[in-house]
Structure 1
Amino acid sequence: MDLTPFPDDAPRRLLLGFSGGRDSTALLHRLINATDAPWTNIRAVHVHHGLHDDADAWSRHCRAQADGLGIECVVRRMAVRRAGRGLEDAARQARYAAFAAERREDECLVLAHHRDDQAETLLLALLRGSGERGLSAMRDYTVDARGPIWRPLLATPGAAVADYAAQHELSWIEDPSNRDERLSRNQLRHSVMPLLRRHWPQADAALAASAQRLAEADGLLRAQARRDLATVLGLRDDVVEVSALRALPQERAARALRLWAESRNLRLTGDALRRVLGDWSQQPAGRALEHPLGQTTLRQWGGRLWLTPCEPVEAREAPAGQTWDGRAPLRLGHGGGDADAGTLRLLGARGFDAPLRLVARREAPPRFRAAGDRHARALQTHFAALGVPPWARDTVPLLVDGDGELQALADLAYGDALDAWLRARGARLLWQPADAAG
């Protein structure tokens, strides 16, 4: 039973996803008994889904098998939360979450998918209408948000894995859910694939070869998407410049956006892409637009796109009621709570002559005259001029003096009195929001 070449840049310590089934049992035995292996250590992790009455017995079996081979096997108990997904997908998500939680920084995750699995994955992707990324199916080695993943059996037919397990008289678990044809993959495995093989004996090899060619095409497209993304990112990598994005051909713009979202562990839906590249392109730049994506919101304002977490309004508000003499950094708790909302610092001076007080935006004076301005302007006008998007404005800490006069919009703008005081001392304020405060 041959293995795909071990990647030169993969970590030399392995963590095998060990279900205890035939395929992972055969792979574990093969890895342990490899001669001149480049890896230096092997551990196994078994995911206890709790979906079957025998789940405890399966965990004990896996530990016993690993003990017999002289390796550690960790059992991870994971709750399968469907959250609108099918049972197969929910269980897969739980497994990968368990693998990610268990994998150490110096380990490569190893999975026992073989060529038959690859053929099934491609067919499922076709039936779902997947794009080029999904149609490229599984890779024998990849590094993504889950870390490095090696699939050494991906070029090996399932029959060869079965022969190896029988030849070495291995003992494995038979999960009865693998025969349940109400599950999509099982329907393909037990009903569709046998029919295809009767008419096209090389169906598995042909489908796997197509997946490989699609993976190569996807690699070229992703390389182009990376170049395009570099041209549309703002000064921060979480902001996309809309004018640069729309200067690209629409298909390239869509791929660049997908890659941007993927780099933040998100998936952009077709509806989201249609909004950005279609409906939103007709809207005024000053209008704030948003589209929900689960726990994240895709936003457009001021010629830019953002991906921001969904939070209740009260969790986004800057704190109020605290007084600050500037002698020590001021930790900003959400609404006076314990959650970290960032830090305010006075740099270049020991402290203020008189303390300033934090106020919430709804309690602040409605108008503010910044140093150098002839007239006071509405706070929202200042924020717009400073490039603060509408959804982030309540997070900006506002400082008033003892007379209730607004003296600072964080470190973005100062009133006349505070500006003169800071200039006389060569001092300034520094606001570090929670994601930058450390």
Structure 2
Amino acid sequence: MSQSAIDLPSRLLLNLKPWRNATAWHIAFSGGLDSTVLLHLLAHLAKTESLPPLTAIHVHHGLQAVADAWPDHCRSVCDALGVPLQVVRVQVQPGASLERAARDARYGAFMDVTQANQVLLTAQHRDDQAETLLFRLLRGAGVRGLSGMPRRRPLGGGHLVRPLLDITRTELETYASENHLNWIEDPSNQDRQFSRNYLRHQVFPALTARWPQAMATMARSAAHLSEAQGLLDDLAQIDLSQASTPSDFDWLGLPSLELAALEKLSVARQRNALSHWLEPRTRLPESDHWSGWDSLRDAAVDARPIWRLADGELHRAGGRLWWLSGGWLSPVLAAGEWPDPALPRALPGNGVLTLTGQIPDGPLQIRYREGGEIMELPPRGHRDLKRLLNERGVPQFVRGRLPLLFKGEQLLAVPNLQGLEGGAAGSWNLHWQPPNEDQGLS
């Protein structure tokens, strides 16, 4: 057996040392060369090392007829190694990029099976990292994209870990040959219409013929860029800490930032901080489409600018930026009567209302703003609701969602707003719990 094949188990164990206390290791098992080697290595290490319980996960995309035989192959390999196998069938959504759609479906399945304190192990290696760097470079990626695939990242309730990123494809092939492993050859891997396959079969052979260490040096560049991205993330945290000030409307439960704190930064630092803040919430725009941020930031004080992104919208109101997504972007549905005000009133797509204290006589109704509403405020008399909301600085995007309590045509209360939310002398109080993530927000 070659020296590299002998070293492989010890190198793998070293890379997985931080994860030895996980409650389970799931292995993403396509049946191809890379994942077959990873599975074989771990199954044999488990005989002599104290490892978390191993299971294999095979995702069946249903994109090729030949793939129907792959679950049986994977099952036979797992049976021989004594590793339980879970086969997950997914629906790949049609779209412009079949590669991306299949990946999204696959990682959605991985997310579902990875519970708290569990790890999903995937078999990407150093050559894959170099391909990723060049592929993203050709697409104009920034530092984050050129960092390549991270060695670890959160996934589901646990983590995704790539323990082979310092191993070459040649080393995996040598191990597979010396251990007489059998694996699936996916015909689509030869289809050079796919960009990654074109790079693998056309571009990299030419590069390595001229520069034999091209794969290693490109993977090293990805590591340098990953370190640079870490420094940018640290800077973003510092800048965001200055902008993450309290708001009178924190009860909305919406992410928000103070605009003035961001405006003090250079344009590059603004984009860095915002990218860091938005990244867990939405797919980020390409660099050419950041003009939406400029328009939002520079709009007149009395304007109501909106920056529409892939998975939500950034609004500006009250000197702050607000992130809205999911149910916040859907129109509210009529609420109607409140038959028993002693019980909480669920509002369709708009949270929950509760009345506490000496509940006013009914019948009571929940309505939303239509314009022209008047509210009686002793001793101020009758006041226009729009003016009252202006006085309290209520963001425009909230006003149409505020549930209003009526008795007949009399507006009794507006929830959560001081002086408007209840009866005289505090005899009763109307409280609104806006919709949260569990009620359809991203």
TM-score (norm 1): 0.89
Deviating more after overlay: 384-393 vs 193-202: 384-393
In the alignment, the residues of structure 1 paired with residue 405 and residue 386 of structure 2 have an alpha-carbon distance, to the nearest angstrom, of 16
CA distance in 1, matches of 2:152, 2:328: 40
Query: CA separation of 1:24/1:147 partners in 2, compared to 1, >3 Å: closer, same or farther?
Result: same
Q: Which stretch of the first structure deviates more once superposed, 156-165 or 324-333?
A: 324-333
Question: Which residue of 2 is the match for residue 83 of structure 1?
Answer: 95
Report the equivalent of 2:366.
Answer: 358
Cα shift at 1:82: 3.6
**Residue 123 of structure 1 aligns with which residue?**
134
Q: 1:125 to 1:26 in 2, by over 3 A?
A: same
Deviation at 1:406, TM superposition (A): 0.8
What secondary structure is seen at the aligned counterpart in 1 of 2:436?
helix
Alpha carbons of 1:437 and 1:121: their partners in 2 closer, same or farther (altered >3 Å)?
closer
Q: Which residue of 2 aligns with 1:320?
A: 335
Q: Post-superposition shift, 1:429?
A: 2.1
Q: Aligned pair 1:394/2:434, yes or no?
A: no
Aligned residue in 2 for 1:432: 433
Q: Following TM superposition, by how much is the alpha carbon of 1:155 offset from its aligned partner in structure 2, in angstroms? A: 0.3
Q: 2:116–2:157: 8 Å Cα contact kept in structure 1?
A: no
Report the Cα distance in structure 2 between the residues aligned to 1:287 and 1:264, rounded to whole angstroms: 25
Verify the 8 A CA contact 2:112 2:156 in the aligned structure 1: no
1:248 corresponds to which letter in structure 2? L
Once the two structures are TM-superposed, the CA of residue 311 in structure 1 deviates from its matched residue by 5.5
Tell me if 1:329 matches 2:344: yes
Distance 1:415 1:189, change over 3 A: closer
Secondary structure of the residue aligned to 1:201 is coil
1:95 and 1:146 map into 2 onto residues whose CA distance is 16
Cα distance in 1 between the residues matched to 2:387 and 2:437: 25
Assess, with a 3 A threshold, how the Cα gap between structure 1 residues 142 and 181 changes in structure 2: closer, same or farther: same
Deviation at 1:325, TM superposition (A): 4.8
1:412 offset after TM fit, Å?
1.9
What is the Cα deviation at residue 369 of structure 1? Answer: 4.2
Unaligned runs of 5+ in 2: 1-7
Q: 1:37 to 1:307 in 2, by over 3 A?
A: farther
CA distance in structure 2 between the aligned counterparts of 1:82 and 1:437, rounded to whole angstroms: 27
CA distance in 1, matches of 2:420, 2:206: 78
Query: Is residue 114–residue 156 contact of structure 2 (8 Å, CA) maintained in 1?
Result: no
Q: In the alignment, which residue of structure 1 is the partner of 2:423? A: 419
Cα deviation, residue 41, structure 1: 0.9
The amino acid that maps onto 1:331 is: A
Q: CA deviation at 1:347?
A: 2.4
Q: Which residue of 2 aligns with 1:200?
A: 211
Q: How does 1:48-59 map to 2 (within 5 A)?
A: 48-59=60-71
Q: Which amino acid aligns with 1:395?
A: R
Counterparts of 1:93 and 1:31 in 2: how far apart (Å)?
26
Aligned partner of 1:21 in structure 2 is: 32
Q: Structure 1's 161 and 384: CA in aligned 2 closer, same or farther, altered over 3 A? A: farther
Equivalent position amino acid for 1:344 in 2: L
Out of 74, 90, 94, the residue aligned to residue 86 of structure 2 is 74
Contact 1:318 1:394 in 2 (8 A): no
* Alpha-carbon distance between aligned partners in 1 of 2:377 and 2:270, rounded to the nearest angstrom: 40
Q: Secondary structure at the match of 1:333?
A: coil
**1:74-223 pair list within 5 angstroms:** 74-84=86-96, 86-143=97-154, 147-223=158-234
* Equivalent position amino acid for 1:407 in 2: L
Structure 1 residue 372, shift from structure 2 partner: 5.2
Secondary structure, counterpart of 1:217 in structure 2: helix
Distance in 1 separating the partners of 2:74 and 2:205: 30
Q: Distance in 1 between matches of 2:266 and 2:156?
A: 28
Taking the aligned partners of 1:247 and 1:37, their CA distance within structure 2 comes to: 55
Size of the aligned set, in residue pairs, is 421
Aligned-partner Cα distance in 1 for 2:224–2:170: 23
* Contact 1:272/1:291 (8 A) holds in 2: no
CA separation of 1:385/1:170 partners in 2, compared to 1, >3 Å: closer, same or farther? Answer: farther
Measure how far apart 1:280 and its partner are.
2.7
- Structure 1's unaligned 5+ residue stretches are 335-340
RMSD, aligned CA = 2.5
CA distance in 2, matches of 1:197, 1:269: 31
The whole-number CA distance in structure 2 between the counterparts of 1:415 and 1:141 is: 50
2:55 counterpart of 1:43? yes
Greater Cα shift, 323-332 or 96-105: 323-332
SS of alignment partner, residue 25 of structure 2:
strand
Tell me the SS of whatever aligns to 1:43: strand
In 2 relative to 1, CA 298–270 (structure 1 residues): closer, same or farther, beyond 3 Å? Answer: farther
* Partner SS state of residue 173, structure 1: coil
Deviation string 1:291-330 (CA, Å, 9 cap, x unpaired) is 22234122222322222125697x4325332135532222
Q: What one-letter code is carried by the residue in structure 1 that aligns with 2:232?
A: L
The aligned counterpart of 2:375 is 368
The residue type equivalent to 2:72 in the other structure is R
Deviations 1:173-232 (A, max 9, x none): 000100111111001101111111111111111111111111111111111111211211
Counterpart of 2:415, as a letter, is: A
> For 1:230-264, what per-residue CA distance to the aligned partner results, in whole angstroms no more than 9, with x for missing partners?
21124356111111111112111111101111132
- In the alignment, the residues of structure 1 paired with residue 95 and residue 397 of structure 2 have an alpha-carbon distance, to the nearest angstrom, of 27
User: What does residue 338 of structure 1 align with?
Assistant: none
**Contact 1:225/1:256 (8 A) holds in 2:** yes
In structure 1, what is the equivalent of residue 4 of structure 2? none
AA at the equivalent of 2:347: L
Check whether the contact 1:112–1:151 (CA below 8 A) recurs between aligned residues.
yes
Identity %: 37
Q: Does 1:347 align with 2:356?
A: yes
Q: Deviation of residue 352 (structure 1)?
A: 2.6
How far apart are 1:79 and its partner, in Å? Answer: 1.6
Q: Which residue of 2 aligns with 1:224?
A: 235
- Contact 2:373–2:411 (Cα < 8 Å) also in 1: no
CA contact (8 A) 1:22 1:162 kept: yes
Deviation of the 1:140 alpha carbon: 2.1
